[in-house]
Amino acid sequence: MQASPPAGTGVCFSAARRWRMAETVFWLAAAATFFGLPGYHLLLTEIAIIGLFALSLDLILGFAGIASLGHAAFFGLGAYVAGLLGKHGWGDPLLGLAAGAGSAALLGFLTSFLVLRGSDLTRLVVTLGVALLLGEAANQAAWLTGGADGLQGVEIAPLLGRFEFDLFGRTAYAYCLVVTFVLFMVARQIVNSPFGLSVRAVRDNALRARAIGVPVNSRLVAIYTVAAAYAGIAGALLAQTTQFVSLDVLALHRSADVLLAVVIGGVGYLYGGLIGAVFLKVLQDVFAGLTPQYWTFWIGLVLVVLVLVGRERAVAGARDVVRRVVGIRRRTS
């Protein structure tokens, strides 16, 4: 062996690990919306939830390279589990989150074996199939879920036994924001860990990943399960803050919306999902204002244009503009 250079000078990996100023700015801005935009708490709550859901999808799409058309399966399951708990007297919010996460993780673990094999296409079909299957189940089991009428009578206890969920969504927004922040920090840690690196290795080149000793399948199962748990928590948050669950949580457009959020914000870039959620929600709001019933048309148009222009280019361009305006640089991966 040659004489080793000064050990651990830290040049090689630090770029990803270091917490950047811009990240502090981002989260401070998020916290500021709580105090500064009290009239928008309901909308902001929704953005935080979609952001968390998008973060979850990005863990598998951006970091593990698994395209899914049925990520709503986990979101919906989490929502129904938390909603049902609330309806039947187990209204503690954190308990609901845990149950939503647990059940979605279990479903994620079981269905992960379906996405290990086959091509992109098979994965798309299987994930879509799982989501539709769950949607059909929720529809059929009307005695449990309320079917097409939705799950009503969900009652959520005060957060930590102290903070009531008020009509203006103050508690709800603070709650969602904190949960999203905590889970974001965990995701950031996962992505920058040896585990995260090995998942990216699998995405880039599974053949080589195997050749350096990465157990490809178990890593994919693990990340898929984690992502499912995240989606379950996002769904549980929605059920708890709206105190209502409808079949809509399992619908195809849920999966497509979240895909759009990730794509708008940038794939494989943790803040992408959050930023994409802001854009998506604002777009939806604007479009819904223009043509109340037909806003999906414009969402579709955004997708089409985005792809035709080139996602990378569009996102990079937008990022450039943001960078110039705010004068910040950020990159987590």
Partner 1 sequence: MTVSLETRGLTKRFGGIVATDNVSFRLEVGARHALIGPNGAGKTTFINLLTGVLPPTAGQVFLEGTDVTRMTPERRVLRGLARTFQINQLFASMTPAETIGAAVSERLRRGSTWWRSLGGQREIEAEVETIAARFGLADALGTNVTRLAYGKQRLLEIAVAFACRPRVLLLDEPAAGVPEAERRELLDTVAALPRDVSVLLIEHDMDLVFSFAERISVLVNGALFAEGSVEEVSNDPRVRAVYLGEDEHG
Partner 2 sequence: MLTILFDGIAYGMLLFVLACGLSVTLGLMNFVNLAHGAFAMAGGYVTTILMNRYGVPFLATLPAAFLAPAVLGVALERTLYRQLYSRSHLDQVLFSIGLVFMAVAAVDYLMGSQPQLIVIPTWLQGRVDVTVAQVGIYRSFVIAVCAVLVVTLQLVLTRTRFGSQLRASVDDPRVARGLGINVSAIFATTFAVGSGLAGLGGALGAELVGLDPTFPIKFLLYFLIVVTVGGTSSLTGPFLASLILGVADIAGKYYVPAAGAFVIYSLMIVVLVFRPNGLFASAR
Q: In the complex, which residues of this chain contact partner 2 (CB under 8 A)?
A: 61, 67, 69, 113-114, 117-122, 124-126, 128-130, 132-133, 136-137, 139-140, 252-253, 256, 259-260, 263, 291, 293-297, 299-304, 306-308, 311
- CB atoms under 10 Å from CB of 194, counted, come to 7
Residues ≥6 apart with Cβ < 8 Å to 64: 199, 200, 202, 203, 219, 220, 223, 224
Size of the site for partner 1 (CB under 8 A): 44
Nearer to partner 1 among residue 195 and residue 298 (C-beta): 195
Smallest distance, Å, CB 1 to partner 1? Answer: 7
Positive or negative torsion for Cα 228, 231, 233, 235: negative
Give the closest residue to 47 by CA, choosing from 173, 161, 220, 206. Answer: 173
φ and ψ at 158, to 5 degrees?
A: -60, 145
- Residue selected from 40, 195, 244, 295 as contacting partner 1 according to rule CB under 8 A: 195
Distance (Å, whole) CA 125 – CA 206:
21
Nearer to partner 1 among residue 194 and residue 289 (C-beta): 194
Nearer to partner 1 among residue 28 and residue 212 (C-beta): 212
Interaction between residue 207 and partner 1 (CB under 8 A): yes
Smallest distance, Å, CB 232 to partner 1? Answer: 18
Partner whose footprint covers residue 192, from partner 2, partner 1, none (CB < 5 to 8 Å by kind): partner 1
Smallest distance, Å, CB 330 to partner 1? Answer: 17
Smallest distance, Å, CB 61 to partner 2? Answer: 8
Could you give the C-alpha distances from 221 to 60, 106, 218, in angstroms and in order? 10, 11, 5
φ and ψ at 163, to 5 degrees?
A: -95, 110
**The pair of three-digit structure tokens given for residue 279, joined into one six-digit string:** 């854009």
Distance (Å, whole) CA 53 – CA 47:
10
Nearer to partner 1 among residue 10 and residue 289 (C-beta): 10
**151: β partners:** 245
Nearer to partner 1 among residue 192 and residue 296 (C-beta): 192
Residues 17-56 that bind partner 1 (CB under 8 A): 17-18
- Residue selected from 214, 256, 283, 303 as contacting partner 1 according to rule CB under 8 A: 214
Smallest distance, Å, CB 219 to partner 1? Answer: 7
Which amino acid, one-letter code, is at 178?
V
Question: CA gyration radius for the chain?
Answer: 20
Distance (Å, whole) CA 312 – CA 250:
29
Partner whose footprint covers residue 61, from partner 1, partner 2, none (CB < 5 to 8 Å by kind): partner 2
Smallest distance, Å, CB 20 to partner 1? Answer: 14
Positive or negative torsion for Cα 26, 261, 63, 130: positive
Distance (Å, whole) CA 105 – CA 286:
35
Interaction between residue 116 and partner 1 (CB under 8 A): no
- Residue selected from 94, 201, 251, 288 as contacting partner 1 according to rule CB under 8 A: 201
- Residue selected from 21, 136, 153, 208 as contacting partner 1 according to rule CB under 8 A: 208
**Contact flags string 237-276 toward partner 1, x per CB under 8 A:** -------------------------------x--------
Place of tokens 């708990």: 85
Interaction between residue 205 and partner 1 (CB under 8 A): yes
Could you give the C-alpha distances from 112 to 20, 104, 138, 221, in angstroms and in order? 34, 12, 21, 5
Give the closest residue to 178 by CA, choosing from 163, 196, 157. Answer: 163
- Binding residues for partner 1, per CB under 8 A? 1-2, 4-5, 7-18, 189-190, 192-198, 200-201, 203-205, 207-216, 218-219, 222, 268
